Structure 1
Amino acid sequence: MSKPQDTVPALRKAVRILDLVKASSRPPLAADITRQLDLPRSTAHGLLAVMVELGLLEKTVAQGYRLGTRLLGWAGGATEKRDLVSEFYHELESNPDHDAFTITLTMLEGAEVVYLACRNSATVLGASFRVGMRLPAIFTATGNAMLAGMTDAQFDEWLALHPVSLWPKPLTPNGICSVTTLVREIAEIRERGYAVDDEQIHDGLWCFGSVVRDHAGQVVAGVGVSLPQTELGRYDMQALGDRAVRLARAVSFRLGYREVGGQQVA
């Protein structure tokens, strides 16, 4: 069998350069990189120039190369996401009071929420959640909670980037389908402190959502507490919303967020 053609050789060479720079005890010179990786001189210099331009590498005063700040930003983002998911699961493990509910953790990406973590209850919901799943933010409790957590300016910017003409068709008859309805929903969420998905994602499925904040007070995710409509009668609606708020605050606390009397403290 013939070997598959490598369609991105430059990318592989760039990764080899990054690995070499990271492993070197001192910032290697262009000549060192060329020799150790057995690269044509023109290829090495071309790649190094582009990698410096993109912030993947930085050139030292001695003309050596070290890892660039752009990589540090990527690494930090990946670490923060892992920490977020880890602390979410740690909180669930330490609090069995949530076992009767399906609990989800999502992040807002554009007009969608992405599911980062979930723990399904034994109760049949009629819908299943899985890591990596995406849903329109305006139909979800966590998505609307995160939209409500924006400043007015940020929310206006989000609306400008995602006009109603681009909104998906509602998944159920209860789905939000106008800016007026969404703005009213956002106002209600801000007043009561949590969001409610009243069968907007799936008939017979309710979810209560609240926001997770990082150490700087920025909204980084949303937690959802879901249960079937048939189980609603066993609980007080306000108590379900408060449950989502408490869980979100507990995860936020684990991430370093502190507040007293509703105000962030250093």
Structure 2
Amino acid sequence: MRISPPLVNKENKIGMSKPQDSVPALRRAVRILDLVKAAQRPPLAADVARQLDLPRSTVHGLLAVMVELGLLEKTATQGYRLGTRLLDWVGGVTEKRDLVTEFYQSLDGFSDLDTFTVTLTLLEGMEVVYVACRNSATVLGASFRVGMRLPAIFTATGNAMLAEMDDTSFREWLTLHPASTWPEPMTPNGIRSVTTLVREIAEIRERGYAVDDEQIHDGLWCFGAGVKDYSGRMVAGVGVSLPQTELGRYDVGDLGNRAVALAQAVSGRLGYRNNMTEEVENQR
């Protein structure tokens, strides 16, 4: 008796082959993106084929589809660079990151800040809002708590965030919040005029950090720096506070640099990249 071979379900056979056909193409596309990102100049199609050891016809087909989908862009020299659609994907990922969580996780790596009160604030109009705080055991004379609001122009974090604005944005902020609407200074050291604020912002930009020299509370100093997201946009400020009685134990510039280092670490966790951010990450 002759036994017939089993029937093959062509539909299932085709279905089973799909992953085998599609996965290599996806892997090749990712390899192309990695190559383009790492290249010092936009590579040509021939460069991609040679460096990845792929058939030219395969590379041309992949590049054409990736350009069509916005994953790559073709330059005037016929090379390829990363496309703007990737920014949409990056934004979708980074916006989901919890700023407060990233702040606390960054802070865990800074043992040199254990003796200070460290805060995270957002700029809302004329005020900064405290969204995270780690108080030190040292008595500051003023307590920080989540949800607290203070006038931005008197705080180190507020002025640090204002200093991160470009000139046009800062002028717009001044137009929206003229001096006539400013609150009364909280101490004799509080900023009272636009001229003083503009000079303060210029000094912050030059040295890289802001200083609250007892503007919020007598006997309390704070050093602040701005936090940036993946796009380079200022999103928050970090502050490092200590009593004036403890100030003599430290170099003022060093305290400011500690605030800057923490701000850069948080920025790095949010996806921001520059030479200083990478250097801080490599040192920790």
TM-score norm. by structure 1 comes to: 0.68
- What secondary structure is seen at the aligned counterpart in 2 of 1:94? coil
**Paired amino acid for 1:150:** M
Partner of residue 112, structure 2 = 97
**Is the 2:268–2:277 contact (alpha carbons within 8 Å) kept by the matching residues of 1?**
no
Q: Which runs of 5+ in 2 are unaligned?
A: 1-90, 279-284
**Paired amino acid for 1:144:** N
- What secondary structure is seen at the aligned counterpart in 1 of 2:272? coil
| Structure 1 position 174 matched with structure 2 position 198 | no
**Paired amino acid for 2:258:** R
Partner of residue 111, structure 1 = 126
In 2, Cα distance between the equivalents of 1:101 and 1:262? 22
Partner of residue 193, structure 1 = 208
- What secondary structure is seen at the aligned counterpart in 2 of 1:142? helix
2:235 aligned to which of 199, 211, 220: 220
* 1:97 shift after superposition: 1.9
**Is the 2:119–2:132 contact (alpha carbons within 8 Å) kept by the matching residues of 1?**
yes
2:252 aligned to which of 226, 232, 237: 237
1:72-104, Cα deviation, whole Å (9 max, x unpaired): xxxx99x84861100000111232221010000
**Paired amino acid for 2:115:** A
Partner of residue 225, structure 2 = 210
In 1, Cα distance between the equivalents of 2:139 and 2:122? 24
Partner of residue 159, structure 1 = 174
**Is the 2:110–2:262 contact (alpha carbons within 8 Å) kept by the matching residues of 1?**
no
1:122-161, Cα deviation, whole Å (9 max, x unpaired): 0000000000100000000000000000000000000000
Q: What's the % identity of the aligned pairs? A: 77
| Structure 1 position 247 matched with structure 2 position 262 | yes
Distance 1:162 1:133, change over 3 A: same
TM-score norm. by structure 2 comes to: 0.64
In 2, Cα distance between the equivalents of 1:261 and 1:231? 29
| Structure ID, larger Rg | 2
1:149-186, Cα deviation, whole Å (9 max, x unpaired): 00000000000000000000000000001000000000
**Paired amino acid for 2:178:** P
1:33-71, Cα deviation, whole Å (9 max, x unpaired): xxxxxxxxxxxxxxxxxxxxxxxxxxxxxxxxxxxxxxx
| Structure 1 position 86 matched with structure 2 position 76 | no
In 2, Cα distance between the equivalents of 1:211 and 1:224? 9
**Paired amino acid for 1:124:** V
RMSD: 1.8
In 2, Cα distance between the equivalents of 1:261 and 1:136? 30
Partner of residue 128, structure 1 = 143
* 1:209 shift after superposition: 0.2
1:239-260, Cα deviation, whole Å (9 max, x unpaired): 0000000000011011111102
Distance 1:254 1:262, change over 3 A: closer
* 1:262 shift after superposition: 8.4
Q: Which runs of 5+ in 1 are unaligned?
A: 1-75
**Paired amino acid for 1:168:** P
Distance 1:262 1:105, change over 3 A: closer
* 1:261 shift after superposition: 5.9
- What secondary structure is seen at the aligned counterpart in 1 of 2:108? helix
Distance 1:171 1:250, change over 3 A: same
In 2, Cα distance between the equivalents of 1:229 and 1:262? 30
**Paired amino acid for 2:275:** V
